[in-house]
Every structure is written in C-alpha cells, then in structure tokens.
Structure 1
Amino acid sequence: MQQTEQKSHLFETYKRWELTFSHAEGSTVTDKEGREYTDLMAGISVVNLGHGDPDVIKHVEKQLHAGWHGSNFFQYEQQERTAELLTKLTGLDLVFFANSGTEANEAAIKCARKYTGRTKIQSFVQSFHGRTYGSMAATGQDAIHQGFGRMLEDFEYLPYNEVNALEKAVDENTAAIMLEPVQGEGGVIPGDPAFIQKAAALAKQHGALLIVDEVQTGLGRTGTMFAYEQAGVEPDIVTTAKALGNGFPVGAMIGKGYLQEAFGPGAHGSTFGGNPLAMAAVEGTLQKLMSINAPKMAAEKGRFFTNLLEEKIASLPAVKEIRGPGLMIGIELTESAAPYVLAMQKKGFLLIAAGPNTLRLLPPLTISYDDLEKAAAALTEVLEK
C-alpha cells in the first residue's frame, strides 16, 4: 500500500475547519487563539440549553462521584425517572436508551421489523437517519451509501411531501414508514402536516408502524417539544438524541406499550446505553427545558429571527428561500453555501450547511435577541457581497 505523509493520528472522516476548540459557554465558543464566535449551530442542534448549562452540570457532577457504570444487569432509578419524563412528553409508554441518534434509529428499525414480522420500510429521498448499516440503509441519499457495498435490503426511498407516491408504495408488506418531520441534513425541508397525517393514516390502515426521527428536531427546537406535534399525529415510535443530554452522548427510542412483545429480554441491548452519567445529563436537561418553557422560547425567537432575515436578506440575489420552524432555519442559496459558512466565521459566527446550497441556522434556544440581531446583520453583509 502507498504510504502518505501523516499529519494526524485521526482518520480524516471529517472536513474540519481551521479552528481548534478551547472552551464554550452559553452561545459563545472560544478557539485556542482566544477568538470568540457566536454559536448559530449549537453543536448541530445539540446544546439547546447553550454550552455548559450549570443545572445540567450539577446533575452530572453529582453522579460523577456516585458511579459511572454498573451495566444494565442493575436497575437504575435514574433510568426510570428519565424514561417517565420522556413518556409524559411524548404520550408514549416505553423507552430504550442508546448512545446516539443512529443507535436509536437502529433500535427502531429492529423493533418495527420484529413486531410486524415484515421487512419493508419506506423512508424518503434526502432523508438522514445515521451512518451505521441499518440507519444508513434508511437514509435516502446515494452519497451516504457509496463505497459500502450492498445496503440492508427492503428500504424504499420515496419523494418527500408527495402523498400520491406514498399511497402507491405502502401496502401489507410494509413494516414501517420512517420520516423526519423536518429534513435537517437534506436541506431544512419542513414536512407538510397533511403529508405526515397521511403517513400516519396509511401506517395504521396497513398494520405498519410510524417511526418519527426527532434526532435533530426534538426537544424544543422547532417550537414544540417534538416537531410531530405540529402535525397532530401519534407515532408508534419516536427517536431522539442530540439535545437529549445537552451535549452528553445519549439517544433514546420511545415507543408504544404494545411493542414490548417484540422488544423483550435479549431482543436488543447496549453496554453503555442508559448509563448513570448519561441519565443524569438527560434528567437535568429535560427538567431545565421544561422549567424555562424551551419550546415557547424557540417559537418566539424563531419568529423574530425569521422575520428579521426576511426583511434583510430575502430580496438579495443570492437568496432563494428562507424556511423552517422555530430555531431550525434554512436559507437556500442560488449557489454553494460553503464559502458563506467560512465568510461568517471570519465575522465571528458559527453556522453549517445542509446539502450543497443551504445555510442551516440552529442556535441554542437560549441565545439572546441581541445576538440574533447581530447575526442577521452579519449575514446581510456577507450575502450582499
């Protein structure tokens, strides 16, 4: 094999910026050189409460001294408490704790197939559900699949928000319909409520399950605790992660009680899933999100920020469309988004792209109105140039 000059001992699986993280607090990230950046990405919709929330830290610090790991042969009071919180927030009944969003989606895929005895799952073009084999197969993006051989079979990718295509595809062989209420990685594409309602109705009609992936949209981001609430549907399974521990690695599959028959002892597991430190982070995060009414905060700030962007940049030649609920905002451009991401960094703002042409804004829900105004002014200046 050809040897190349080694610059790092890390696999280069990420296109990293020329920034080295030092520390972060609230909506501010500081690099190794001491430069400060206003965070408009929240670690990709992760630190919804801002960096270093003191109440979450207190929960984790307390558990840190009590014990990190005992394995899931033990019963954990923290698991029961956090599971109860999640079932109350979703109206569902049971929780399986994992370590990430992709693991939560793997659990959902396994549960749906085992419960229904079927294998076919409909997901959607430009969806994103993760990078492990099951979640990667559920992801409707060729670029994610390339180079890994044959995908896990019986996934069908349908055009998003097109009811007719969904009606033709769902049948008695369908195990589940799996969707994001807002496609995040795919370009911040909101699901039409009528489309999501039809997906729920078709799943019920054919004895299939509705799996709603709330890994990026969940926990207040879109103006409700979970985005599917805005369509008025009742999923069979909801997956969540990212903001669940406000930065601590944790994910969860939340499901209806009747799924217990498929997910009994030995059906699934995780060495670290639901560990005491993760549960402390989740409990602290959920309590804080509820105490500050984070969904309302996101809805109000989202309206303010979107109106500001509409006023300042919507008419600029580079801007095609501004869309998205709450503080999950996409600015679709007429050209590549990457240069604008770097231009905003030079002005002291961190944001990311979603697909080739869309800027994605996912600030902490606790960000100040003043920071949002400054961000809008910086975006205006960058997009005008």
Structure 2
Amino acid sequence: MKRTFELLIFTGAAGSSVHATTAAAAGTVAADGTAAPAAPSDGSVAVASSAETVPAAGASAPHSPVDHGTASGARQGAKWQERVTALKALAAAQGLKIHDQGALVGPTPDTMMCDVEWPIDKIRLDSIILIAGSPTGDQLRDGIKVLKNRGHDVIVVVDALEGLTQLLPTLEKLNEQAVEMVVTGALKMLVTGNHLMVYRFPKADSTTTIAVFADIDKDDPLVLTMVRGAAPFKDMESFPGGFLNVQLESLPECAARELMEECFVNKDATGDHDKFTYKVAASDMQLIDVRSEPDRDERGHVVDHGFAWFIPPDKQVEVFAKLNAGDDAKEGSARFVRASELKGLELAFDHKKLFLAALARLGK
C-alpha cells in the first residue's frame, strides 16, 4: 500500500516551543513542572509561546559548534543544509507537503472558539512525518510527542539535522521509544516504494566486502579491484561485496556469493547450475575486520564485514582465466593490481582499511 509522507522542517528560529499537552484531562503538568493549560476537548494540541515557556531543568541549550572528531560529528558542517535541500527537492518531485514547526501550533483554551483552520490540521492524519532542520533537543522531543499523540508515525532524518552531536542524547532516548531514524540517501526508496518492511526495533544493514589476493607467496602480492558502476562512489575502484540476504545466509556465505556475482559471471549461463564461471566456497572466506561507523555509507547505517580470499597458488591460473566482472561492477573493469601500487590509490567507501588489514594478515 502506498503511504503518504509529509516533511516537517525546524528552522532553528522558532518563535514557539512545543508543549507536550494533548487531549488529556484538564490540569495536566507541563514539561517544566508547572500546571499546563487544560487541553482542548477536540483533541488538538496546544503550543506555548517562547515568552511563556520556562525551560525545564537540563533543557537543551542552543546549538554549539559541532565536534567533527566523532563519527556523528563528521556528518555536520554545511552538509546538513545540503541534506535539507535534497529533502526539499525530493518532496517537490514526489508532491509531498512541506511544513515548518509552526504546523504544530494548535488551538489553546482562549482561542478554541475561533472559527479558523489550525496549522496542524493541514497535516493529514494518515501521513508519516519526516523531520529535519534545526530543532533543539526539547523541540525535537516535544514535537515528536505531539505528532505521535495525534497518531502519526514519525521518521527523523538524522543527517539533515543541525548540531547532531548536541542532539545525540535526545535521539538516543527517541531510539529507545522506537522512533525510526534514517539518512537522506535512504529516503527516496522509502518514499517511492509500494511495499515497506516493518520492524519493531531499528535495524542496521549488514554487508560483506572481499579483498582478493593472488601471488600470496611474493613480497608484493596482487589485489583484485573493480570499478563501481552505480552510486555511491560510482566510477571509483573498490572491492567486490554487497548486502546480506537476511534470514537466508551466513556472512561467509554472503561473501562467497557476492564475490561470484561480481567477479565470475557466466554470460552464457543456461540456469543456476552454470551461472558462475568459478565456484567460491564460504569456507575460503577469512574474516579480517568489521567497520560500523554510522556515517560510513550514505545509504544508511551499514555494518560492513571485511573478508579476504587468499587464492591458493595452484588455483591462481584457473581463477585468472575465469575472472569476469558483473553485477554492480562495470563490465571489464576487474583487474589485479600490485599491493605497492594500490597503497597509493583511492578506494570506495572505507575499503582501504580492509586492504591494509588483510595485507597485514598476510604479513606483508
């Protein structure tokens, strides 16, 4: 079933801060511990102006300079603004409504009788709300509470938030509440897809990458590289690899399959029995490292498991003869490079780390 998405962008210059007052009984308590105004009986939400709001103890301070030394901080600088621009472009292309935080303003007790359209009524009740921009921790927390109390599913676009490092404590609490979080690069498939996966808890994607070595008995071994045919890192040299088939295979099995799909494609295959020119066994895969930084892949939080295949010298001639790039690799781009040369080349993603770790495993 096609889902409806709408984009809510916090501007950072909010004239109002959201209270977590909803259609509860009169006399509820606001976030600062004071008595909150009675919530309207129609189920709308109330927002107090910033002049009326007393910050709660430990309330979020304005954004301070970002620490670029952390994995999360590395997403920041001007890049969050680029992500917001990309989100707006996606929304325009897909016909999604765009709101600012003023959309969370609802009727208050002294204005309930006014015959006006409240901003929050412009948001469809069945819409999934994408959140980005420059909220404080309090605004993010309270805004999501307002939306969820109204019945909305909420998705936070983490790499399109300003001051992500300062927001991490709030985001960690929201994560515990099963608030979904994605990155901009994953949204197009999410917004345009007709079928969505449903998970109770957040999931990281798992991939395998394989460093293939030949001439392993020499001081300067050969290493297999290929050129990526698709984004991200299109036209850059990389190692073969890909995503784990969840519930269907182990990580070594994934590594062997991906290696065959990207390096040993049989163009003359007549069926599954001869789809590959060479069979690689899962038992041939040696685990080298695991790289799990949240921003290592622009498509989402992808945990990569680095494997190595050290080609036995007696199999080397056959492997060379049957090598044929396919799948995500550009046709004809597979080649073996001396390790000494590869040290001076750029590789896609963080494959250089895997290369150096595998080289060390060989004792080179």
Q: Which has the higher contact order (CA 8 A, sep 6+)?
A: 1
- Could you say which structure has the higher helix fraction? 1
Whether TM exceeds 0.5 here: the answer is: no
TM range (shorter): under 0.3
Q: Which has the larger radius of gyration?
A: 2
What TM-score do the two structures reach when normalised by structure 2?
0.26
What TM-score do the two structures reach when normalised by structure 1?
0.25
